[in-house]
Structure 1
Amino acid sequence: MLHLRKALSDNLFNPNYCRNLFCLYLRTKSGDGSGGFCWKTNREEEEEEGQIRLFKSRGQHLLTNPRVLDAIIRASGVKPDDTVLEIGPGTGNLTLKLLEAAKKVVAVEIDSRMVEVLRKRAAAAGRGFDDRLDIIIGDALRTEFPKFNLVVANIPYGISSPLLAKLVYGATENPFRSATLLLQKEFARRLLAKPGDSEFNRLAVNVNLVANVEFVMDVSKRDFVPCPRVDSSVVKIYPKSEIPNVDLDEWWAFTRTCFCKKNKTLGATFKQKRKLMELMKLSKFDLLSEDGNSEGREYDSNGDGDEEGFGSCLGSDNGVGILRRKIVSVLESGEFLDKRPSKLSNDDLLCLLFLFNEAGIYFSDQEKPKGGVCAAACGDLM
């Protein structure tokens, strides 16, 4: 047993050794020594590396380059008294380095095979690693995270957007210092984009509302096992201590409208009859009159109100025309009529949303209970 522990300790960061260890574990679990369920059954869904069965569809790409792992640890700024949240630790290449630097690591992993290997590696490393490692087996999107100071993680590509939403919007209730994330390179570029950049998009706008993002470094796809199709990038995210006082459901719906055609002028976007009809339903106001006498009467959503109210004008060209003129007036008042969302800052967008709401125009259902950060955690920022 002592010889086995020493062998494990000496080879913890040897990728080939770790693959062979995982293969041995799979053979043991199968009971017949044949490798059991580590063999491929679908070339589109999974890739065999050594004899480890890793599913690309689950984002199971293990980072094996020690230099890159060390660089991520340095960039994270982890301190000896930190509790670090790691999402998708896999077999523990990054986890073990975090345990060397932090007080405690909370690892969230959905694959029980990976969990068992991770536990064995932590125990074999000694130095109390297994006592300072808490493993939560489950889906990171559905798991309630415990308190932590720092996030350091190689995020599975398929859940990057909803998981990022959960982290940055959840920081208002569970604050943390920073998140150092390894992401798909294209996704990272979209996240880092600024107004006027060709990649600027709704993702950058929504994350920027609550956090600042900085680029750390690029990582080659050759540093992973199995090799993914694209390169990755490391970014560092700092939650803002103060965020704008805005209804988040309204903000997300507003940015979705603006960025559905981000290079169109706002004037052109809000000319579309379908969009105008949608806004009429959401705003629930009687817009038949432009003289101010009937505007502002709340629409009876049950259809029991005044026949000349909103219900009767909902499908009428007259009602749509009044709303269109109202929207044009709002856009002109802020000099937004000929502006394009792809060139607007967050301050510009917040100003425009305020003008719309002040005029009684809303982008989300005002009678529906507000989702708050829970809606963001389950939603998509893109």
Structure 2
Amino acid sequence: MWAKIDHIMKVGRNNFNPPPQVESSVVRLVPKVPRPQISYEEWDGLLRICFVRKNKTLRSSFLGTTSVLDMLESNYRTWCAQNDVVLEDGPAEQGQDQNDMEVEEPVDEWQGFGDDAEDDVDMDEDGEDIPQFFKEERDRQASFRNKSNPHRKKKGKVAELVREKIRKVLEDDTELAEKRARLCAEGDFLTLLYAFNLEGIHFN
């Protein structure tokens, strides 16, 4: 970010005595003048999130990690307080908490037996009784879905707002949601940081 870097030449391991286990390179670093007018703390915070999982998509890095969402929600609350932005707090409206999950979970995940409304009756499509094994498996799956994570807190309105802002930046504003951090250029990250800041999302 702070310098222009050029690769000058490779230096083979046999140029050293004793030879190391790695190849070397000579590079030239020329400081940029004037220095880019961005916050180093913000830049560093953004890149830390992106490169924790450099081979994952940016969508997964931001929306698939609870700790990242919690941190960005806390930062957004702080920004709103500093800029006199009134937040509508409280629990999320009914029907919104389906977003309270990891992004990487398969959408078409098998839900077990007996998810349809008609499954309150222990009959199959031909009107025959369902074997006991399937009844037990259906009940076990329903119990698992209800108790799989009893400690997970319900998301509030602010959390849902922040999640939607992140989704908007990644999908609508920058269209970088499906890109992987290791394949992004410096300009992509600058665009991402600018778009997040416009939405009030900060990283320091």
Structure 1 length-normalised TM = 0.32
Describe the SS at the equivalent of 2:43. helix
Where does residue 67 of structure 2 map in the other structure? 274
Where does residue 254 of structure 1 map in the other structure? 46
Q: 1:323 is matched with which residue: 140, 147, 162?
A: 162
Residues 229 and 339 (structure 1), Cα distance of their counterparts in 2 relative to 1, 3 Å cut: closer
Q: Distance in 2 between matches of 1:223 and 1:320?
A: 56
Q: Distance in 2 between matches of 1:231 and 1:345?
A: 25
Q: Give me the identity figure in percent.
A: 33
Residues 343 and 253 (structure 1), Cα distance of their counterparts in 2 relative to 1, 3 Å cut: same
Describe the SS at the equivalent of 2:55. coil
Q: Distance in 1 between matches of 2:197 and 2:50?
A: 15
Q: Which consecutive residues of structure 2, in runs of 5 or more, have no partner in the other structure?
A: 93-152
Describe the SS at the equivalent of 2:191. helix
Shift of 1:257: 0.9
Letter in 2 for 1:354: Y
Comparing 339-348 with 354-363, which one deviates more in the overlay? 339-348
Letter in 2 for 1:345: A
Deviations 1:153-174 (A, max 9, x none): xxxxxxxxxxxxxxxxxxxxxx
Aligned residues: 138
Letter in 2 for 1:229: Q
Mapped contact 1:283–1:363 kept (Cα < 8 A): no
Q: Distance in 2 between matches of 1:218 and 1:267?
A: 36
Runs of 4+ aligned structure 1 residues displaced above 6 Å come to none
Mapped contact 2:76–2:162 kept (Cα < 8 A): no
Q: Distance in 2 between matches of 1:231 and 1:340?
A: 27
Mapped contact 2:57–2:181 kept (Cα < 8 A): yes
Mapped contact 2:53–2:61 kept (Cα < 8 A): yes
Describe the SS at the equivalent of 2:52. helix
* 1:356 pairs with 2:196: yes
Q: 1:241 is matched with which residue: 16, 30, 33?
A: 33
Q: Distance in 1 between matches of 2:162 and 2:78?
A: 10
Q: How does 1:1-382 map to 2 (within 5 A)?
A: 209-271=1-63, 272-285=65-78, 296-298=80-82, 316-318=154-156, 319-331=158-170, 332-364=172-204
Q: Distance in 2 between matches of 1:354 and 1:326?
A: 13
Residues 336 and 221 (structure 1), Cα distance of their counterparts in 2 relative to 1, 3 Å cut: closer
Structure 2 length-normalised TM = 0.58
Mapped contact 1:273–1:320 kept (Cα < 8 A): no
Shift of 1:247: 0.3
Letter in 1 for 2:201: I
Describe the SS at the equivalent of 2:73. helix
Q: Distance in 2 between matches of 1:316 and 1:298?
A: 26
Describe the SS at the equivalent of 1:361. coil
Residues 218 and 339 (structure 1), Cα distance of their counterparts in 2 relative to 1, 3 Å cut: closer
Q: Distance in 2 between matches of 1:348 and 1:334?
A: 8
